[in-house]
Amino acid sequence: MVVSNKKKNRLIFRTVVLFVMLGAIVFALVTNLMKDQEKVKEGEIAPNFSLQELNGDKTYVLHDEFKDKGIMLNFWATYCEPCKDEMPHMDELYPKYKEKGVEIIAVSLDSSELIINNFLDDYDFSFPIVHDKRGEVMELYDVFEIPSTFFINKNGEVERIISGPLTLENLDNYLEEIVPDNENS
């Protein structure tokens, strides 16, 4: 009996040691695969920021301004061609979704207001544009490539993150997802 007990203990010991090591390896593999994870993840609360409207006095504070609204946060710049391509889509859909309780806010990453204004001279967008002068909000949202778009639902959670340009159709679908009254979202 003593012997078989010993054997049993040995098996338990080996099992425990092997499983601990297996766990460690799985941990290493998983973390290795997920290395490039964003600071802001889908499903998390979108971090707060406060930016002044371009050419206006209004300051947009994300968490105060847009309570119970869906928000589409679009990072763009004048030197980014695909950004400029998708902005007319945003402009087109903006009135429809504003009515449904969704705000679009475009964060420019340009270096100076002069450049943004020169660009806006040629276009006239109805959605508000803010300027991230010192790049703090870009840092906060860990924006690497532009355009980058964050769709935020009425609870302030990031519903979807899109890096790269959006088609009109996709934009429409994603905006629909964050309409506040849409209980299915």
Partner 1 sequence: MNQIKCECGHVNPEGTVLCEACGKPIEKNQHVDGNEGQKTLNMRYEGSARRSKTYNRTIIDKIWIFFSSVKVGVWIIVLTLIASAIGTIYPQEIYIPPGVDPATHYKDEYGITGQIYYQLGLHNLYNSWWYLLLVASLGVSLVICSIDRFVPLRRALKKQRAKRNPVFIRRQRLYGETKDVNKEDIVNVIDQLKKKKYKITEENGHYLAEKGRFSRWGPYVNHIGLIIILIAAMLRALPIMHVEDYVWVREGETKVIPQTDNKYYIENKDFIFEIYDENDETYGEAVKKSGEIIPSNFQTNATIYKVDGEIIPGEEPKLEKVMEDEIRVNEPLKIKDADISLYQASYQLNEFQSMSFKLHLANDPEEKAIGEFTFDMTSPQKEYDLGNGYRIVVDEYYPEFYMNDNGEPASFSKYPKNPAFILFVYGPDIEEYEVNFLGIGTNLNADPNNVYKLSITDFDMQDVTGLTVKRDHTLPLFGLGALIFMIGVVQGMYWHHRRIWIQPNEDGVWIAAHTNKNWYGIKKELEKIVENSKIDMPKDQQELDE
Residue 110's φ and ψ, nearest 5 degrees, are -65, 165
Give yes or no for a contact between 118 and 39, defined as CB atoms under 8 angstroms apart: no
In Å, how far are 61, 81, 164, 172 from 169, measured between CA atoms? 29, 19, 15, 5
Residue 42's φ and ψ, nearest 5 degrees, are -65, 140
Give yes or no for a contact between 145 and 36, defined as CB atoms under 8 angstroms apart: no
Question: Does 82 help bind partner 1 (rule: CB under 8 A)?
Answer: no
Q: Indicate the residue among 13 and 173 with the shorter CB distance to partner 1.
A: 13
- ∠ CA 172-178-184, nearest 5°, is 105
Nearest distance, CB of residue 60 and partner 1, angstroms: 9
Nearest distance, CB of residue 174 and partner 1, angstroms: 24
Q: Indicate the residue among 33 and 169 with the shorter CB distance to partner 1.
A: 33
Q: Pull the structure tokens for residue 173.
A: 């679908």
Q: Indicate the residue among 27 and 95 with the shorter CB distance to partner 1.
A: 27
For the segment 9-68, give every residue that binds partner 1 (CB under 8 A): 10-11, 14-15, 17-18, 21, 24-25, 27-29, 31-33, 35, 47-51, 61
Q: Report the candidate in 118, 44, 109 with the shortest Cα–Cα distance to residue 75.
A: 109
Here's the x/- map for partner 1, 108-147, by CB under 8 A: it reads as: -xxxx-xx-xx-------------x-xxxx-xx-------
Question: Does 184 help bind partner 1 (rule: CB under 8 A)?
Answer: no
Nearest distance, CB of residue 21 and partner 1, angstroms: 5
Residue 41, CB-side half-sphere exposure with 13 Å CA sphere: 5
Give, for 52, the enclosing helix (H) or strand (E).
Answer: strand 50-52
Nearest distance, CB of residue 102 and partner 1, angstroms: 21
CA 35 to chain centre: 18
Size of the site for partner 1 (CB under 8 A): 44
What are the residues binding partner 1 (CB under 8 A)?
A: 3-4, 7, 10-11, 14-15, 17-18, 21, 24-25, 27-29, 31-33, 35, 47-51, 61, 77-79, 81, 109-112, 114-115, 117-118, 132, 134-137, 139-140
